[in-house]
Amino acid sequence: MHKTLLIALLALSPAVSATNYGEPMPAGDTVAIAAAAADPAAHAGKPQRFTGRITQVCQKKGCWVVLEQDGQSARVMAKDHGFAVPKDASGQAVAYGVLEIEPITQDHAKHLVEEDGAKAPAEEELRIVATAIEIID
């Protein structure tokens, strides 16, 4: 009986779907952006999955998104501009890549604000150089 009930509940629950950009998304644990921002050194330098809500998208090519959680954020850059996401992307997302703490030059800040429509960045930012982004529908 329990098995039949479980099957019935699974059939009635709404399906969660996702759209993947870039390489196939590897399986594994996911680190929340807030946790990564709280201790970036512990999460930097190795490929892993990160999750947050999309708050900004590059309006020129869709080559980056900003993921946010609990007031903390990281810019997710498509590695080697190898893929792009829709310019109107929104909602929850998972990015697979390497976290870095990146200083922001004046030229790069100008590029982000004038060409991509981003908010003016701080002197440094958390950046994920990603090979895959999955947007949860």
Task: Answer with the residue of higher pLDDT: 91 or 116.
Answer: 91
User: For position 102, what pLDDT does the model report?
Assistant: 80
Query: pLDDT at position 11, please?
Result: 44
Confirm whether pTM is higher than 0.85.
Answer: no
Percent of the chain past pLDDT 70, that is, above it, reads 78
What's the rounded mean pLDDT across residues 112-135?
A: 79
- Displacement of CA 133 from its chain's centroid (Å): 6
Beta strands in the chain (DSSP E): 18-22, 30-32, 47-57, 64-69, 72-78, 91-103, 124-136
Domain 17-136 in this protein, CATH class: mainly beta
Q: What's the pLDDT band for 132 if we cut at 50, 70, 90?
A: very high
- Using one digit for the tens of pLDDT, what is the confidence trace for 42-75? 999 999 999 999 999 998 899 999 999 999 999 9
